[in-house]
Structure 1
Amino acid sequence: MQQCAAAAEAPAATDRAALLDRMRGALWGIFIADALSMPVHWYYSVTDLKRDFGEITDYQAPKKRHPSSIMSLSNTGGHGRGGQSGKIIGDVINHGKHEFWGVPNMHYHQGMVAGENTLNAVCARIVMRGIAANGGKYDPTLFLNDYVSFMTTPGSHNDTYAESFHRDFFKNWAAGVPPERCALGTEGHNTAQIGGFVMLPPVIMAAVAAAARASSSNGIDSTAAAAAAQAVTHLRTTHDSNKLVAVAERYAQVMTRAVLGEPLRPLLEAEAKRLRFSPAELAGKLWDDTNIVHSVFGSACYIESSWPAVLYLAWKYSDSFEKAVLSNTNVGGENCHRGAALGALMGAAVGESAIPPRFISGLAASEDIRKEIDAFCAAVLPAEVPVEQPAAAV
């Protein structure tokens, strides 16, 4: 059996299994929610979504035509909008995909198959593999080496679109900037987006595991703070955004407490209170999820819209991974990256055992991802290493 350890009341086998279940759930959640949303990523009209796909309940392949795609307006030589004369897309990264960017209404993920993951989720696998190969420890320099190698290797992935942060990073890299400096100066370059959270769950899990295997535990608060700090370290390798960092710290804190077994709803309510809204009050209005996500929060990628949407959907469906991720998919908008963040949080709360098996087996790379999750867990918490439960604050 795969090996992770439990930060639990005592290192009993059942408690070790409980944390293993939640850690694995968090990792699977990234890929499941992303792949479910891939065919309808950035569908801002739910009418269009339902016309093209109906109510999505499982993995589907994208249509070639995307009714609200603006990829043809995106800059292939750097961040944001612009022309297609630049060849960062095509020559440096996303090899062979440049020709698709200038075509009106081209799907962002054209050519992908049902259950396939988008680029940011694929990059989360780079993080997992790197931590596993490094004996369970996260190292930002090793990540950057792996990231550059992967992204600049033709055929390493099948996605057509790459977010602004990827394009900015490799514009700088191609100009000779060292990898550790390639993200600097990009605040405001469409950087403060939920896409920056997709790679964070493995980094957070590694920090939780490090605290669990320490000879003495300093408590859940300390563990959550350490996980948040490590998440920020990783985020800054690709996103130079203080605005995004502030929210990433909160995301890491909530996920840490969830994977250590704290009830999810109170955590979400506390975060929502910081943002001056009540999930319970919104749910009590009997509005559907589409109205709440689009009209109350906003369905776009910007973190000020997407983070409260994650909190709301996780609160409403706190006992159902399936309902949470499917609702996220079917409301449209920036549902892939918002979904990956939501799916990881839900998986951390309910565990792998509460995820419908079809969502795991239906992933296009299911067996490879399973092996990578197994290797990650075995590396971050080897079976022979004793673990301790972080004590709750008193």
Structure 2
Amino acid sequence: MSAVRRAVSEALWAMCAADSASMPVHWYYDVQDIRRDFGGWITGLKGPGDKHPSSILSLSNTAGSGRSAWASGAKRPDVVGHIILHHKLDLWKSSRGSVHYHQGLQAGDNTLNTVCSLRAARSLVAGGFTDVSRPDARAAVMSDYVRFMTTPGSHNDTYAESFHRSFFADWQDSRPTSPRQVLLFAEKRSKLKLSSSFPDGQLDAIGCLPMILPFILLSASANEEQAVSAAVEFVKLTHPHPKVPEYVSIYGRALHATLGGACVRQQAEHALRSLDAWDTCQSYSRKAARFPVSSEERLKVHQSAVNYLGLACYTKGALSSLFYLAHEFHDDVRGGILTNTNCGGENCNRGAALGALLGAGGAYTGAVVPQEWKDELRDARDLIPDVLKELE
């Protein structure tokens, strides 16, 4: 196995491991709730509880982006339960108000966004695209995405974030399905939203990263500009917000360089400088270094750093947190994944992108995802071997 192919492989496994590890405590905004619900900090792959201490699922808009209270204009039909997430609407409408976002998943399962990422990777390799920045590559991924999301029983997750709901709220009017039709629809929709005077702030979210990961990973042998272009052109279809391409570019350049053997620590510093977060991160890094590795005291510093830099979904803050953790755990894939999990907040999407970066770097340093985790990752075991086989 070539060094680059090994880096792609480890990036995929670490992406899935980080997402799955965080899944049971996704959007835990009080880290003490993690300790209470799991009898201590998370140390491996667990399943979610029935209840979530800070769930606001019942406030989410089942007909599109954002919260129900934000919906304006004419009442639109629900996409949750009818177009996507079949048989899940009752959980969104539950009067209990504490339903876990990922009810239905088990230990080792991946959340919807990471499963979509794996499927995107499979679509790209199955299509045999030598250049995944081409429109037909995007068309193949988007048509598979539509088929997957609208097929009852295709996955077990309960939650779909705003970008999914917004896309299918618009898609349901014409319901295109062929690769060409879906691409034309998505391009027209993207152009309209990117030119809007009032962009949807819910699309400026770290959830923009999982589905672009395959476009970078499968451009590992291409030049940087081609790889970044592939990611940026695709993310415009899923997250048509004017700020998102810049953030995807920052992340994409770091991951592409790492796949080629560049130092994760140096790439993280460069990205943090671009995000105007380097000085703050250095301060937290110095504080963390006062305490022993793997100590609770050091974990508390990392939790404080992520809380300050960006605990929620909004891209700039979450990306700053991601690169802070990448800098601190550049040579420790397992430690980085578990620390990200135990920092709470938007740790699944942040974790998927962090995992890909650490996994790619670990392929060169020997710091890889533990085999026992790989054995437990059901979605990854189903899809990653197919992707890697096509790359041979």
**Pairwise TM-score range, normalised by the shorter structure:** 0.7 to 0.9
- 1:320 CA displacement: 0.5
* AA in 2 matched with 1:255: L
* AA in 1 matched with 2:44: D
1:31 aligns with 16
Q: Secondary structure at the match of 2:385?
A: helix
1:169 aligns with 167
| Greater relative contact order, per chain length (Cα 8 Å cut-off, separation 6+) | 1
String of CA shifts for 1:146-168, please: whole Å, max 9, x gaps.
Answer: 11111111011111110101001
Q: Map 1:1-394 onto structure 2 (within 5 A).
A: 17-53=2-38, 54-82=40-68, 86-103=77-94, 104-137=97-130, 138=132, 139-176=137-174, 178-183=185-190, 184-185=192-193, 187-209=199-221, 211=222, 223-276=223-276, 277-278=278-279, 279-286=281-288, 288-294=301-307, 296-351=308-363, 354-378=368-392
C-alpha spacing 1:285/1:106, structure 2 compared with 1 (3 Å): same
- What is the root-mean-square deviation in Å for CA atoms of aligned residues? 1.8
Question: What is the CA–CA distance in structure 2 between the aligned matches of 1:262 and 1:144, rounded to whole Å?
Answer: 31
Q: Secondary structure at the match of 1:242?
A: coil
Residues 310 and 320, structure 2, Cα contact 8 Å, conserved in 1 = no
TM-score, structure 1 as length reference: 0.85
Question: What is the CA–CA distance in structure 1 between the aligned matches of 2:229 and 2:254, rounded to whole Å?
Answer: 13
- 1:179 CA displacement: 3.8
Identity fraction in percent: 38
TM-score, structure 2 as length reference: 0.85
Question: What is the CA–CA distance in structure 2 between the aligned matches of 1:376 and 1:102, rounded to whole Å?
Answer: 42
- 1:234 CA displacement: 1.2
Q: Secondary structure at the match of 2:2?
A: helix
Bigger mean CA offset, 131-140 vs 38-47: 131-140
* AA in 2 matched with 1:123: C
- 1:189 CA displacement: 4.1
Question: What is the CA–CA distance in structure 1 between the aligned matches of 2:56 and 2:390, rounded to whole Å?
Answer: 37
* AA in 2 matched with 1:185: K
In structure 2, runs of 5+ residues without a counterpart are: 70-74, 176-184, 289-299
Bigger mean CA offset, 305-314 vs 128-137: 128-137
In structure 1, runs of 5+ residues without a counterpart are: 1-15, 212-222, 379-394
Question: What is the CA–CA distance in structure 1 between the aligned matches of 2:352 and 2:54, rounded to whole Å?
Answer: 21
* AA in 1 matched with 2:361: A
C-alpha spacing 1:376/1:40, structure 2 compared with 1 (3 Å): farther
Question: What is the CA–CA distance in structure 2 between the aligned matches of 1:181 and 1:121, rounded to whole Å?
Answer: 26
Bigger mean CA offset, 349-358 vs 155-164: 349-358
* AA in 2 matched with 1:75: N
State how many pairs are aligned: 350
String of CA shifts for 1:243-281, please: whole Å, max 9, x gaps.
Answer: 111010011100011010011211211121222323333
